[in-house]
Structure 1
Amino acid sequence: MRCYLLIVIFLFFGFGLYGQSFTFNRQIRGVDLPSETIKGLLQDAKGRMWFNTSMGVYYSDGFSTFSIPASVQAELSNDIGMFLDKDGWVWLFNHTKKAKVFFYDQLTWRELALPEDIVAQATELYKRVVVFGKGADKKVVMLDEEKLYLQDRAESRWLSYDLPHSELGFFYSHFEESGELLLFFENRIISLKEGQPNFFEIENSFSAGSIYHVAKDQDTYYFLGRNFLAKGNLLTKVEKIVTAGFEEPQYTHVDYTYLQIHNGKVYFFFNSQLMQYDPILDRRLKIETMQSLRSYSLTAALVDREGIIWLASTRGLVNVFSLMFVNYNRREFIDDEVTAVHVMRDESYLLGFNNGVQQWEKGRVYTIQHFPELLSQPRNRITNIVSDKNGQIWISGHQQGVGKYFPEQRKIDFVNSSSNDEIIGVFPVGDSLFISAKRKVYQASIRDRGKELFRNEVTEHWKQLSQLREFYVRKIGEISDGKLMVLLGGNVYTDDSIRVSPNHLFVVGFDYLELDTGILVGTEKGLKIFNKQGLKDFEYHGQKIPRPVYALKQDEQGRVWAGTDKGLFLIDEKLIKNFNEKSGLAGSEINRGALRKTPSGQLLIGTHKGLSLFNPLEENVDLPAPILEITSLAVLNTDEDNQELRQVPSTTNFIEVKYLAPSFLQSLDYIVYYYLEGFHEDWVQVVNPRSNSITFSNLPPGNYRFHMKISLGNQVETAIVSSNDFEILKPVYLRLWFILIVLLIFFLIGYLVSTLLTQLKEKGILKQAIDEKIYEASVTEDQFKNVWLSSKDGLCLSTEEGKIVAVNPSLSTLVGLSEKSLEDSYLWEIFSDPTFYDVKRKEIENLVNQEASTTLSLEMDMPFKSGIKVIDYFSTELKTEFEGKRVFLSVFRDITKQSQQEQRLQAAKERAEESSRMKSSFLSNMSHEIRTPLTGILSTAENIILQRADEQELVEQLEIITESGERLLGTINSILDLSKIEANKMDLNYNETNINDFVAKVLMPLKALAMKKGILLTVKYQKQPFLGKIDQRYIEIVLNNLIGNSIKYSEKGLISVKINKVSDKMALVIEDQGVGISEEFMNRIFQPFEQESNGYLRRYEGTGLGLAITKSAIDLMRGSIEIESKKGEGTRVLVFIPLERD
């Protein structure tokens, strides 16, 4: 048990007239000034900001900073005055040197024409200009050290009046009401009414000082004097001093003053920091800029139309978007990060840090616990501070344990479990106090003390309820139906689902808030809502909060605040707003135990960079939309200065749109929506553009109109602003008149070309036909010549009398005579037997007459002079004549070698058939001559065994004879089967069969054989029933051989047989756990008489014919067999046999 003594630190901050810490912005969007010395600020009617600097006057449109025209700047001195009239015109004038006045009427710069006598009379050291009235009633007042010059712009005349400068002092400000202008000087006030200056008195019985500024809000006048602010209901009388004593020590000879009323609040300074007075709350607020500007006082200030406060000094320019967040950090507290907040009562708060606890009460901070060495270290981090129903305050202190705070003594007693748990949170619910530790949960009573708090651990019970193996609890609370809401930390065992038990609701998340529509749950994946539809993303007007939500709170107006890692999200009646550091928040990451509401409706927000206090009265609810104006619509790629936009040529179709819509509210996204009618189908969105111009390139011909609007963070939106219509003209070559001319020209050209072609065509048809015939004849002749000369067959043209007309080289070679000797000879001269031609001619003529054809083909031996040759002779009659005689084409093909080869093949065939007959005869004889005596031997041996069974030695020898005889008989049968299959003497005989029953019958003896060896043979029939046509003999051979091999080559284990039907095939799978087959033997496995184990040392008997017979039988049935095996691991055989179809 530890007790920490009180350390009291008095810090003067809170709600009195003392400096508050706000987040100031030095990187102002679109503002880039050449000088840090800012002497004046104003905002024109279009929202642009103007800056009077030591290096000239500049203005910004929110995108860029611009200087005034060089021609105007050259006429002005280094000491310039700046003024904004009621029409929104900007006036610039020289304070010193020659009298010069310029004004900008939002279109052009103009110089105010001053009479020469006034220019000559005006002093060079001191001049001021005031413009009052508007429109035609506008009047200009110019002051110097000696005179007051008044211009009535309606009558275009100047009046001048003497001024007693020694009596009046320096000019400070003006006030206009009901046509009367008040000019406030250092010592006196002058009234200008109806063009006549008079002294004006304001009764002030509270202060001897002069009034330098007056401003009016509804029926109340506010008066600013040296070091005081007063108010009254009449312009002529000060009734009450509002505040005093704010002027800083003066280090210059010039007074810097300012007074403005904005949204009912009074902003002012007098050689000081900016002050704010709220008449509703009667609150005074000092807006301290010393840390940002390093300046004791300001030179200028302005609250613009968006509520942004601009502060200028001789050391720079800053602005602040809002005063709704007042920030505190290590300058006031023991650390920056505020980890937990508890509201004990109004203006009394308990704050938790990584390194201690402090109590902030009525502007004072009391340090309850402090570990200076643990700055920003979470070892003793305070994660939450809560009070129970009896008002007792409980604190979770991480490694310190659970603490109880005693407000009267301002001390904390911490206690931890015997295992020194890391305490994550403490949560009172009714009479119970739940303590969340790392992977543990304790349930105690709010009346327990010390170690009693940790005696009842409920971790395992809650694991059963949540059905989670592991969890840690972030928060526990009671909801309206009496259940406990348990928020869990995410890990590998949890998910996004909700687990419900009779008394508990388990959800992964950080915080929850119960509403009428459901329970909001802040999770790592964003804000969700739990209701009858389950747990889903919370969506509001199409918006979601996708960031991790650490804390939830509902304010006095019923609005929901969500603390995330990217600031605060506010769900109000219209939309979801986001506040972050740009909005003035101390830090963007909100701690889950540090979002609390005070009794007065304020919010305390603990962040990683400090504590923010949200004041709802400073919230800018009615944010104005920017003033949007399309300033130009121009053609880019043209050399013309004034290109007509109503009809833009197609060659200059690059259009640029420039717009003006100033906004300096950087806390909200600046969103541009634009739509080019005639080009776009929907609005185009651009977020935070870098320039205020939009460019369209290569626009197609057509009619267009540009529309746009501006939105600030989708919270406020301008009206739609549209440009004038404009047209991109079509190119010349796409215009109708040009197309018609081109078509006419092409028509004329086509007509002339057609006429010319018709004449040329008529003249060229005859010549073309002649050329084609000549070409065809030439091609035909070349083709015939190529065939005649290249043919390997002998070709001969002869008449019906046998006279040779022509022969080719092949015939000359065939008959053994030269081509020259064959010319003009007769056919019978090519034969060695002169009678051969006459005999064969008669036979040929008889055949021709019988077949009634002019074509003949036959084979014969011809006795050429080169020798007798076997000739395939072909003859046909041609449709031509030679010397009045019919002409025949004879073809002589030499097939002598082919005939000899056929004779040799025929002889080989006869020898093979004789060999096959001898083999069959030998096998048949062997079958009879060997099997007959072998059968007698086996029968005799078996008979002796039966008769002499008591003679053991004899029986054993006879059994050897029997076993050897059966082996020999099996070998002979295998040889005969293989021989019959190879000789195709075993025909296929397909019968309709119940295949499962047939296989079971074949396997019965094989199962018995397997059991003798201690092997289990199983069969699985995967197709029930299985009917099909098979050849039972061959299937039985295949089954016996394959399963017999599995039994033979297995010593133990299981042999599995599976029967199935696959695509009209019988599928057979046999798997064993035998010795297996080596990879080398797999290539020879189907060869006859091959065994992997051979010689005298072989382990297994057999002929090596089983697989050869099986393969031959399967091939005969058009099936397939595959064998997979690995030595020492077993064998798998896969067989597919087609089922015979009807």
Structure 2
Amino acid sequence: MSLLYLCLHPGQFKAYGQHQLLKKFNARSYYEDNDGLISNNIFASAQSSNGEMWFGTQKGISTFDGIRWNTIEGSENLPFHYTSMLLALPGDSMLQMSYTPNKNLGLRLFHNKNLIELANLPEHFGTVNQYGLNAAALKTGRQLEIAVQADEHIWIGRTSEKEWQKYKLPEDINTRNITKLVYYQSTLLILTTKGLYSFHPATRHYSLLWPAQLKDREILAATTSPDGSKLYLLGNDWLGEWNDEGFRFLSQKLYPEKPLYLPTNFYNIVATRAGLIILQHNNSLILYHTANGSIQPFRLADSYTSSVPTAIIEDTEENLWFSTMRGVAMVNNLSFATVAKVAGLADSEISTVLPLDSATILLGSNIGVNILRNGNWLKEAQGKPTYSTNNYRIMDARTINGQTLIAGNSQGLGVLAQDYEVKWHKLPGNLWATTVSYWNGQLLIGTDAGKVLSFRDGKFQDFIDTHQSLYIRKIFIDQENRLFLLTPKGLFHVDGSTAIPIEAENLHYNSLFCFVQWKGRTLFGTSHGVCELKNNRIVPVPAIAVNRPVYAMLQDKNGRLWMGTDKGVYILDNNKLKNYNRHNGLIGQEINRSALVEMQDGSIWIGSDRGLSVFDPALYKEPSIVPLLCLETVKSNEKQLSQQSGYTVDYNQNTLEFIFKPITFYLPEALQYRYRLEGLEKEWTYSKNYLQNSVRFTSLPPGQYTFSIQASVQNGSWSPVTSSSAVIIAPPFYTRWWFIALLILGVGFVGFTIHSFIFYKSNETRLKAAIKTKKSQIKQSESKFKAIWETMDTGVVLTTRNASIVMANPSFCRMFHKPEEELIGNDIAALLDHARFSRAFIEDWYQNPRVLRFEVEVKVAGAPLYLLVTFSFLNKLTPKEPLLVIGLKDVSDQKEAEMKNMRLNELLIRQNRDLVKKELELATFNSELLERQKELQEALHILEERNFELDQFVYKTSHDLRAPIASAIGLLNIMKMEGNPEGWPRYVDMIMRSLQKQDNFIKAMLNFSKTARAIEKPELINFEALIAQCLLDLQYLPGLDQISRRISITDPRGSFYSDKMKINIILSNILSNCIKYRDSGKATSRVDITVETSEQQAHIIISDNGIGINQDYLQNIFDMFYRATERSDGSGLGLYIVKQTLERLGGKIEATSELGKGSCFTITLPNMKADQEAVLVLSPESIIPINGWDSSNR
């Protein structure tokens, strides 16, 4: 029995809900002996009061806190079997009940995981039921009551009583028929195959409670609702509910058809907090929803869960635990069911989901199309070679105008027929079909090579080609009916035949997978989250913080936004973002872009890389997980602290470690902590290491500390603060106040004594050293002063207030040729005959002492002497008044050098002035030379151009002159050879035309010569007469009489002057071209001439409707010998002569033309009279003649 019966017969349950398949729920986790479970054979399970899960196995008891497994010491030899029980008690206690090998009752109590053997059982307890242990327990506050059936008695033991009480069963109850004992609202119920009895120990009365509806029905198991108000009964093929209002059937037929299975003794029934009843009936698992009365069979995904559960329980986080003989599975979410390959899909991956009607669904996979109808497979895709799996992948499907169209990669475009067969249409050019859409009456197919094709009547046509290697993932039509292409290289707006790229704020937003209209906004799934189209730009949506690839998007009926990513689905509901992945029941991680669909019943079908998941909104409940957290141990320097001895440690035991245990099962990998040590820090420290179970603090200073910690799961609510008792690190004795006071006094006295002695000796030593140093400094100063005094070249003399010399240095003595002895006492004015050395000046200086510097010229021994004099004062040698210090420096040599320098400077200035003048003359000459050189270069350039033109002219002229002559000679030779005079007139006409063509060419040459050499002769121009004359001269041209002429002349003043001959040449050449190149195929040929004159210029426009000129040739038509058409028999000089002539007159010409429509020439000519008047205004001096040109150059 490796598979459940329901898995083998899914069709029997097709009546249960729309598209009902066998529901399979992915286990959040599955644990075996390799994970830490002591044995895979589990017989009983329970959740303790501290939150841990307990599992009674063949080899003992294992506990699990969501992260770590442990084995209860001493439980290895405990007897466990199918009817063994584990009952959680308050205070982290657990009661284990089972029968012993001799069929007696075994009771064991575990407190804080320590085994306590209960010894108050009666000596003659009796033999328990040979088919299993029938026992029940009731907790009421701290009171525990246990009921056990043994032999023909019910034994009841209470924690408040020392002795067990024995009550005999009534005779109408056969012990072999007892199936279970259950407590309901403090009443003991006895479930049998013949009736339901209640027992009241106080009255020793058994009451038959069997309702009339259950006559002849067997009851197998029972459970109470989480709040204890209801009792749910499980029968052989029915489910019932009993409450204060009585009994009612919830279902009288669990199986639509008679089940073909082998009955077993395994029955489990659990009522959950979410209003669900989980039934294990023989080999079947059934889910009953109390809110809507629906019954759904299910199984757990993967083969290891096909083993029959021995126990089913719900923990405090509303996770379901299925214990089996192969391990234990935990399911944390029933809202996501799974349809995988083993349940009927031909391939695990689902790439496309499309509801065809209320009962039929198309499922696309890597190998083709599957059709599901009412839970049965109408069409299953056949397997393909693994190397070509992607070739046959169904990329997209749409129902358009009642027709289902499928994009099937290399298969092309598929059309689903009424018999659900697919007719494939291969795309041209080996293109692959990637998506389908409908726009403006056209069926559009996106491809893998940047093309969008349209499809009609079985044929493909190009709709648009982006000319890029683009894989078109989706085609999007916005609310304004604009067409967009979603590609890995950006969003493109289709405008006509052009695909215009839409700018993205970031390169990551260029890779687009999907789109959705959500709350009036256009959102796109990209490789870096959700973006929107805003102001013709792709920008992120900060409010939707999904920073990963978004492959599919959907807005459900409740306005929630679904986003399929590479990490499951994200749901934005009331601005709250939630993520569901394989840990929450999804079968796959990566959601495909065409496989996120909401059905009519509100279920969401999700195709992923590993299969199909179905979200049932009726089973959805937002989890609110707050992990349990307990502080287990406090250690100081690796030594465990005890509450009895208190948490006070010595100062050198200042390393504290706090060991804690988190308990959560919903998503332990998302567990995070925050903690702090109060007394050391105020802010929380955060940790995302879910395996962490201790925090260590080292080198703590003395003080009082309290450790606090909280835990949360997946950014949910934080658990209540768990805090330790205060830990006191006592300060060392040397930090106590009395020790510090004594130490300060003793150290102070000793310090004062030592300091006094040291201070005295130190002062004595410093004084002696200072005296010695000062003496040495004085001696050094005296030596330095003497050396400076005797060697300085400046004469220095010290005088008193009355100008008497007190002291003089050797330089002063040498300056005046007297020894110091003769100078001392003398008056300074006697030596220096100058007003500034007089007593009056010195007295004035003493009134206002200051530093003076000045130069004087004196005579010493009859010779002139220039001196630099400095007055300063010295007030430290005499106590009464300062001395005047006079410094005298002989600067006679410097004065003489300065005079020489002045004379040399004057000479240099004169020479420099002459040099500058020469440089200016040279610069002027160089400038003139450069101008002459430039003129010569320009003349040389003009000459080269003329030589080139002359070469071309000679070449073309010789050719065009010779051609008619050669033609005439050839015709004459023909005439000569024929010898028949009757045929000569035809040849004469041909010779005449050749000679006439030569004459026209010679005339053009003469016109060119005239215009090139003639000097302009301004004269009054009468445009009307001039144009009439030109047309008269051209009347010999064939076709002139077939051309209509419109002439418009606006000459208000009649005072336009120019060269009449040159204007005639210009007009004749242009008009002749209009005549020669008229379009004979048109009904009417015309020439329009417009002339407008003013004081400054004349504006002439000549247009026709002739054959026109190719746009590529317009830029060359004014070149010499250029012919713009093969029809031309002219010389190729006409327009060249026109442009050259206009340039001589100072005018210009512009041409526009369109092939087949005609040409237009616009001419602008300056009024030569206006130019002459402007010249006459200038003064005669301002007119500069042009060298080499005068009237003789004609």
Using the size of structure 2 for normalisation, the TM-score is 0.59
CA contact (8 A) 2:67 2:668 kept: no
SS in structure 2 of the partner of residue 372 of structure 1 = coil
Which residues of 2 match residues 960-999 of structure 1 at below 5 A? 988-989=912-913
In structure 1, the partner of 2:541 is 538
1:428 aligns with 2:432: no
- Candidates 56, 62, 66, aligned match of 1:52: 56
In structure 1, the partner of 2:567 is 566
1:363 CA displacement: 1.0
CA contact (8 A) 2:531 2:539 kept: yes
How far apart, in 2, do the equivalents of 1:549 and 1:845 lie? Answer: 104
Q: Bigger CA drift: 300-309 or 201-210?
A: 201-210
Q: CA separation of 1:660/1:644 partners in 2, compared to 1, >3 Å: closer, same or farther? A: same
In structure 2, the partner of 1:90 is 94
How far apart, in 2, do the equivalents of 1:381 and 1:672 lie? Answer: 45
CA contact (8 A) 1:567 1:578 kept: yes
Q: How many residues align?
A: 803
Q: CA separation of 1:289/1:517 partners in 2, compared to 1, >3 Å: closer, same or farther? A: closer
In structure 1, the partner of 2:527 is 524
1:54 CA displacement: 0.6
Q: CA separation of 1:201/1:1015 partners in 2, compared to 1, >3 Å: closer, same or farther? A: farther
- Candidates 319, 324, 330, aligned match of 2:330: 319
CA contact (8 A) 2:514 2:524 kept: yes
SS in structure 1 of the partner of residue 628 of structure 2 = coil
CA contact (8 A) 1:273 1:296 kept: no
How far apart, in 1, do the equivalents of 2:918 and 2:379 lie? Answer: 98
SS in structure 1 of the partner of residue 583 of structure 2 = helix
- Candidates 175, 185, 202, aligned match of 2:210: 202
Using the size of structure 1 for normalisation, the TM-score is 0.62
Which residues of 2 match residues 86-485 of structure 1 at below 5 A? 87=90, 89-97=93-101, 100-104=106-110, 110-115=116-121, 117=123, 129-135=135-141, 137-163=143-169, 167-169=174-176, 172-185=179-192, 189-195=196-202, 196=204, 198=206, 200-203=208-211, 208=216, 210-217=218-225, 221-226=231-236, 228-231=238-241, 239=249, 240-244=251-255, 255-262=265-272, 263-289=274-300, 291-293=302-304, 295-331=306-342, 332-367=344-379, 370=382, 372-373=384-385, 377-388=389-400, 390-406=401-417, 408-429=418-439, 431-442=441-452, 444=454, 448-451=456-459, 454-459=460-465, 471-480=470-479, 482-484=480-482
How far apart, in 2, do the equivalents of 1:997 and 1:549 lie? Answer: 83
SS in structure 1 of the partner of residue 123 of structure 2 = helix
1:595 CA displacement: 0.9
Which residues of 2 match residues 891-910 of structure 1 at below 5 A? none
SS in structure 1 of the partner of residue 333 of structure 2 = coil
List runs of 5+ in structure 2 lacking aligned partners.
Answer: 1-8, 505-509, 788-810, 823-906, 942-1194
Q: CA separation of 1:376/1:320 partners in 2, compared to 1, >3 Å: closer, same or farther? A: farther
How far apart, in 2, do the equivalents of 1:845 and 1:236 lie? Answer: 142
How far apart, in 1, do the equivalents of 2:522 and 2:207 lie? Answer: 69
How far apart, in 1, do the equivalents of 2:813 and 2:453 lie? Answer: 129
How far apart, in 1, do the equivalents of 2:323 and 2:95 lie? Answer: 20
Given residue 327 of structure 2, which amino acid in structure 1 is its aligned partner? Answer: G
Q: CA separation of 1:296/1:78 partners in 2, compared to 1, >3 Å: closer, same or farther? A: closer
CA contact (8 A) 2:407 2:435 kept: yes
Q: CA separation of 1:850/1:55 partners in 2, compared to 1, >3 Å: closer, same or farther? A: same
Q: Deviations over 1:543-565 (max 9, x none)?
A: 61011111100112111100111
Q: CA separation of 1:250/1:350 partners in 2, compared to 1, >3 Å: closer, same or farther? A: closer
1:690 aligns with 2:691: yes
How far apart, in 2, do the equivalents of 1:473 and 1:718 lie? Answer: 49
1:214 CA displacement: 2.1
How far apart, in 2, do the equivalents of 1:110 and 1:993 lie? Answer: 127
CA contact (8 A) 2:237 2:252 kept: no
Identity across aligned pairs (percent)?
Answer: 22
Given residue 458 of structure 1, which amino acid in structure 2 is its aligned partner? Answer: I
Q: CA separation of 1:586/1:78 partners in 2, compared to 1, >3 Å: closer, same or farther? A: closer
Given residue 33 of structure 1, which amino acid in structure 2 is its aligned partner? Answer: L
In structure 2, the partner of 1:937 is none
Given residue 32 of structure 1, which amino acid in structure 2 is its aligned partner? Answer: G
Given residue 103 of structure 1, which amino acid in structure 2 is its aligned partner? Answer: L
Q: CA separation of 1:294/1:24 partners in 2, compared to 1, >3 Å: closer, same or farther? A: closer
In structure 2, the partner of 1:515 is 518
CA contact (8 A) 1:126 1:145 kept: no
In structure 1, the partner of 2:652 is 651
CA contact (8 A) 1:632 1:658 kept: yes
1:25 CA displacement: 4.5
SS in structure 2 of the partner of residue 117 of structure 1 = coil
Given residue 53 of structure 2, which amino acid in structure 1 is its aligned partner? Answer: M
Q: Deviations over 1:281-319 (max 9, x none)?
A: 443333334843265522122232323221122222222
List runs of 5+ in structure 1 lacking aligned partners.
Answer: 1-8, 464-468, 788-843, 856-982, 1018-1142
Given residue 399 of structure 2, which amino acid in structure 1 is its aligned partner? Answer: S
CA contact (8 A) 1:396 1:403 kept: yes
SS in structure 2 of the partner of residue 582 of structure 1 = helix
How far apart, in 2, do the equivalents of 1:411 and 1:1002 lie? Answer: 98
CA contact (8 A) 2:307 2:325 kept: no
SS in structure 1 of the partner of residue 488 of structure 2 = coil
1:598 CA displacement: 0.5
CA contact (8 A) 1:146 1:163 kept: yes
How far apart, in 2, do the equivalents of 1:13 and 1:992 lie? Answer: 118
1:37 aligns with 2:41: yes
1:383 CA displacement: 0.8
Q: Bigger CA drift: 682-691 or 111-120?
A: 111-120
Q: CA separation of 1:643/1:140 partners in 2, compared to 1, >3 Å: closer, same or farther? A: closer
Q: Deviations over 1:1007-1051 (max 9, x none)?
A: 65698799999xxxxxxxxxxxxxxxxxxxxxxxxxxxxxxxxxx
In structure 2, the partner of 1:1002 is 926
CA contact (8 A) 1:24 1:292 kept: no
Given residue 615 of structure 2, which amino acid in structure 1 is its aligned partner? Answer: F
CA contact (8 A) 2:44 2:311 kept: yes
CA contact (8 A) 2:674 2:709 kept: yes
CA contact (8 A) 1:670 1:687 kept: yes
Given residue 20 of structure 1, which amino acid in structure 2 is its aligned partner? Answer: K
Q: CA separation of 1:1014/1:574 partners in 2, compared to 1, >3 Å: closer, same or farther? A: closer
Q: Deviations over 1:87-129 (max 9, x none)?
A: 5852113410575523346697654441563569999997665
How far apart, in 2, do the equivalents of 1:277 and 1:608 lie? Answer: 30
